[in-house]
Amino acid sequence: MQKLPTRISGSTLSYMVKTSIKVAGMTCQHCVNSVTEEVSGLSGVISVNIDLASGNVEIESESDLATADLESAVQEAGYEVVSE
Ligand SMILES: [Cu+2]
């Protein structure tokens, strides 16, 4: 898991955290939608971008996300977070 605090100038948001995780088991757009939906439901999440081929999930949020929350959201969708 990687967290990159980023300052966005000219935006209403002055601070944003980017978190990258890797998720195993996604095979199609339906899987991508399920994970996107669950992770988007976490408090503070602004956007979720998933690369199906690599399993990479990039999350932008207003505040730090707890690893346990991310893992349980992914599990809720039926998949597993893997360490890279
Ligand atoms: Cu699928």
Whether the predicted pLDDT of 45 surpasses 80: yes
Distance between Cα 82 and ligand 1 center (Å):
17
Does the pTM surpass 0.85? The reply is: no
Higher pLDDT, 76 or 3: 76
Distance between Cα 30 and ligand 1 center (Å):
4
CA distances from 58 to 42, 45, 50 (A): 14, 11, 6
Distance between Cα 80 and ligand 1 center (Å):
14
Distance between Cα 52 and ligand 1 center (Å):
10
Q: Provide the CA 82 distance to its chain's centre, in angstroms.
A: 13
Cα angle for residues 41, 42, 45 (degrees, 5° grid): 95
Whether the predicted pLDDT of 84 surpasses 70: no
Whether the predicted pLDDT of 73 surpasses 70: yes
Q: What is the CATH number of the domain that holds 56?
A: 3.30.70.100
CA distances from 61 to 26, 31, 40, 46 (A): 22, 21, 10, 5
Provide the domain limits for residue 60. Answer: 2-82
| pLDDT 10s digits, 17-34 | 999 999 999 999 999 999
Domain count of the chain?
Answer: 1
Distance between Cα 66 and ligand 1 center (Å):
26
Higher pLDDT, 73 or 12: 73
